[in-house]
A and B are shown apart, each in its own frame.
Chain A
Amino acid sequence: MQEKDRLIIEQIPRLRRYARALTGNANAAEDLVQDCLERSWNKFHLWQRGSNMRAWMFTIMHNIHVNQVRKAISRPTVVSLAEWTDDRGVKPVQEKRVEVRNVGAALELLPEEQRAVVLLIGLEELSYLEVAKVLDIPIGTVMSRLSRGRERLRQMLSDVGVEPKETVTET
């Protein structure tokens, strides 16, 4: 095992966790991690020694994921962007409070870019600055996406939240 291998391998469990949460699908997540690892191994020489390896690999994963989502959207047989956005929660939440008991299901209803921010900060515990670099967006955008994403999640889950024992009702 070379140092390069060790540095990459150490990140696998967290990459898998993030990918699972981001895609909401075990198979898609494993493919995403696999692609990310391949690219990390091939581009390792571009990693700046001393910088944050985890953030670097999350950046790679994010880029792959964005391309995949873009491809899925541009495929003509798939629903239009407007429908897609509606499907992913804007409308249902506004028209009728969707009962979502499970964080995973609620996440799926978030717009893609808000989900990434909420997860990188809330689950992966990256700093706001690191998230701005990973997603290649200004830090102000990180904060507004976080704020909107969390607020929306909170609304979706709050119906359940008032019940004292909501975990018991989950199976």
Chain B
Amino acid sequence: MTQTPITDIDLHAYVDGQVDATRRAEIEAYLAANQAAAATVREYRRLNRRLHEEFDDVLNEPVPHAMIRVSRRQPFDVIRRIAAVLVLVVVGGAGGWVLNDLSAAQGDPVGAAFPERAGIVHAIYSAERRHAVEVASDERPHLVAWLTNRLGTDVKLPDLTEAGFQLVGGRLLPGESKPAAHFLYEDVEGRRVTLYMRHGDTGGRDTRFSFADENGVGVYYWINGQTGYALAASLEREDLLKVAKIVYHQLGG
């Protein structure tokens, strides 16, 4: 039986999980008989671990508003802009000014509506499996005290056990004029829901329990005076509704 010799390239590919099962078995047999190669593999693995230790914290940092841009949604919006440009061009060649105006109109994330903002938060922070929260659930009292203090209102954490979701943790996020709170819950299948909460910069308009579809992320939300809550997830709408109702009843509408 012949076998391709094991090279340094194979050791790297083995460490990075880039070999098929047959080759993996061959490499493992080789490593069992070759201590120096086994030590090299351990060092390469350790190197990868150190890269994660050094840089994974970046995943936890709140994303600056300037990086988030959302497209305005309605075709109507585009038509209106084109009309505005035409008018200005006709009136008198103010091209540069028009361009400025357009780029500003394209994406002020701070102006994103409350449910849209919750959808964005879910999209950013629930994709990453490893580092999705700043403060983990085992520091629950600290998390609640810290966010209560920063938001300037009582922050309560809903218990979603009955829907099968457990708290993963939470973080403080920059809101519009005041910070916002973000909590992440997860069920045994790894499905995640985002609870987004704001106090004081909701515009003060009461909003009844409502639904918004943010393209793949569903959002139930309500605003009660100064405090707004939103529950966002990529779940079946009925499943999300079930969780949202629990939150609504526990936190008060």
Within 8 A of B (CB), among A13-45: 13-14, 16-17, 20-21, 30, 33-34, 37, 41
Is B209 part of the binding interface, using a Cβ–Cβ cutoff of 8 Å? no
A158 touches B54 (CB 8 A): no
B216 touches A103 (CB 8 A): no
A13 touches B116 (CB 8 A): no
The stretch among A66-74, A76-84, A120-128 that forms the contact with chain B is A120-128
CB of A64, distance to nearest CB on chain B (Å): 15
Give Cα A52 to B18, complex, Å: 18
B55 touches A1 (CB 8 A): no
Residue total for A at the interface (Cβ-Cβ under 8 A)? 41
Total A-B Cβ pairs within 8 A = 115
Is chain A's binding surface mostly helix, strand, loop or mixed?
Answer: helix
* B 36-64 to A, binary, CB cutoff 8 A, 1 in contact else 0: 00000001101110111111101101011
Given A6-B217, A33-B67, A161-B43 in contact, is the A13-B51 Cβ separation under 8 Å? no
B120 touches A154 (CB 8 A): no
B67 touches A34 (CB 8 A): yes
Q: Name B212's closest neighbour in chain A (CB-CB).
A: A1
A6 touches B55 (CB 8 A): no
A143 touches B50 (CB 8 A): no
Given A2-B71, A16-B58, A37-B67 in contact, is the A128-B215 Cβ separation under 8 Å? no
**Across-interface contacts of A11 in B (CB, < 8 A):** 127
Within 8 A of B (CB), among A153-170: 153-154, 157-158, 161
Is A113 part of the binding interface, using a Cβ–Cβ cutoff of 8 Å? no
A9 touches B68 (CB 8 A): yes
**Across-interface contacts of B216 in A (CB, < 8 A):** 3, 6
Given A9-B124, A13-B125, A150-B12 in contact, is the A123-B55 Cβ separation under 8 Å? yes
B125 touches A1 (CB 8 A): no
Give Cα A3 to B70, complex, Å: 10
A128 touches B47 (CB 8 A): no
